[in-house]
Amino acid sequence: MNILVAIDLSESPQIVVGQAKKLAKALSAKVWLLHVATVRLDFSFSPVGSDEVTYRDAGGIRDKVAKKFRNEHRLLQQFSRELRSIGLDCTALLVEGPIIETILDEAAKLSADMVILGSRGKGAVGRFLLGSTPEGVLHKSSVPVLIVPIHKPSLKKVSPLKKEVMAKGKILIIDDEPDVREWIKIYLSSAETGCDFLEAGNGEEVIKILCGEHNMMNISLAICDIQMPKVNGIECIDFLRQQAPGIPIIVLTGFPDVEMAASLTKKGVKAYLTKPIDGEKLADQVKKTMRSIADRT
């Protein structure tokens, strides 16, 4: 069985991927993970109050588009690696074109038996906005379409005091791979933390952040890789424990080691997760840690 999973990398893709993962495992299905990239190269604009057309730097615009494609490709590959890490057969596809037509074309080319995509629409399918991607695919698809509801995170169940506490802090993501940091932000954007994010590519940058305007009082949680250049993850954790013992730490590593895990636990590390990262486990651990912080306040 072939399942085509169409995701929008800017619209909580982890929710759609999570549902697709469960279904693919149950059906032993092959997963095709598709992101449709849309490009609009506008090289001109008219200044306010002027009828003259001014042309933008075409080379600069192309560079930005190329960078956007590279970032989308990395994020898509990260989701694909996550699915493959649990034994699923998954292939990532980044295709440029009109969204609805491209999804339908790829479904036909791949002989997909089902299409899965997300929607922020509320209620029944009939309430989808006219012209939306879900409605367009539903009306034109020759195979079943599963719509996954995507809702913004809610803090309704959190008391006013806890909500205030949870919204104050920032999550510090420490990893030398920019695409991994971006992927973590995307996955955690739907977690009920109310936090913003800070990023560091190595331990040296962490020290600069903590000694700068983003001081220790503004950070609620650190997510730290181990293998990094300059100041590595172990040294970074030692620094955090000495200078900011109140900041809980979650460790990520691509090189799991039992002795290291035991040593880090003694240092007060809250969780030790291995790469490829299981986004659901990471999000659950972050929620658990953030809630424990709110309970202590």
pLDDT one-digit tens code per residue, 211-246: 776 566 778 899 999 888 888 888 888 888 888 888
The mean pLDDT value for 81-94 works out to 90
Domain boundaries, the chain: 2-149, 160-296
The mean pLDDT value for 133-144 works out to 86
Long-range residue pairs from 134-140, CB within 8 A, at least 24 positions apart, any chain: 136/100, 137/6, 137/100, 137/103, 137/104, 140/100, 140/104
Least confident of 147-151, 176-180, 204-208: 147-151
The mean pLDDT value for 38-42 works out to 58
* Nearest in space to 225 (alpha carbons), one of 179, 194, 294: 179
Q: What is the pTM of this model?
A: 0.57
| CATH number given to 160-296 | 3.40.50.2300
The pLDDT score that the predictor gives to residue 81 is 87
The mean pLDDT value for 73-80 works out to 84
- Cα 78-84-86 angle, rounded to 5 deg: 115
Q: Which CATH number fits domain 2-149: 3.40.50.620, 3.40.50.280, 3.40.50.10240, 1.10.3720.10?
A: 3.40.50.620
Q: What percent of the chain has pLDDT over 70?
A: 76
pLDDT band at 194 (very low <50, low <70, confident <90, very high): low
pLDDT band at 121 (very low <50, low <70, confident <90, very high): low
Which residue has better confidence, 204 or 112?
Answer: 112
pLDDT at 192 over 80: no
User: Which parts of 215-274 are beta strand (E)?
Assistant: 219-225, 249-253, 271-274
Sheet arrangement for strand 196-200: 196-200, 170-174, 219-225, 249-253, 271-274
* Nearest in space to 240 (alpha carbons), one of 270, 213, 262: 270
- The length of the chain is 297
The pLDDT score that the predictor gives to residue 101 is 92
Residue 116 CB neighbours (<10 A): 24
The mean pLDDT value for 266-282 works out to 83
Contact predicate 43/71, CB 8 Å: no
User: Please, which residues bridge with residue 214 across strands?
Assistant: none
Indicate if 160-296 has the same CATH topology as 2-149: yes
- Cα 198-262-173 angle, rounded to 5 deg: 5
